[in-house]
Structure 1
């Protein structure tokens, strides 16, 4: 068994709570609702096809509606997150030239 020391993380690894700059902690947070909604939308579309195959029009319509909504909002959240990351990178590049 390996000994447990207080230096479990290397010095280069920073946790969000250890950030010196307040913006550094926010950059570590990733967008999870977008990919989760995308996965739920794909599963819901699969359920739509299954319900349609069994001849259930009510369940098929319900699953189709939820699938379309989940895919739409999942794609929207993913695009917003990507734009936020690109804007943060552009701001970092612009700020690094000031020094």
Structure 2
């Protein structure tokens, strides 16, 4: 059996454009919970309007509360991710001396 090494590619190996390096780890993962919560909030608000149109006050209140919470947390997560990316870019340019 071959020994397992931590790096599958030698340092001189170039990956094709658009391919992810396995050494990147979680750095390449983008913010998915924020947009997913935003979409769920919009769908829930649509369900609120539909339930209110049918006269179901309990369901419309429940969907309205769910929609408001999803929109609130989706926007919050998206803003936090954008600030994190902006801070990382500023730190990266300051480190390289590009300013």
Classify the TM-score, shorter chain. Answer: 0.7 to 0.9
CA-based RMSD of the aligned residues comes to: 2.0
Which aligned pairs between 1:14-25 and structure 2 lie closer than 5 A? 14-19=19-24, 25=25
Displacement after TM superposition at 1:17 (Å): 1.9
Structure 1 runs (4+) deviating above 6 angstroms are: none
Displacement after TM superposition at 1:18 (Å): 2.9
Displacement after TM superposition at 1:15 (Å): 1.9
CA distance in 2, matches of 1:40, 1:14: 31
Alignment partner of 1:37 is 2:37: yes
Q: Which runs of 5+ in 2 are unaligned?
A: 1-13
TM-score, with length taken from structure 2: 0.77
Displacement after TM superposition at 1:10 (Å): 4.3
Q: Which runs of 5+ in 1 are unaligned?
A: 1-8, 20-24
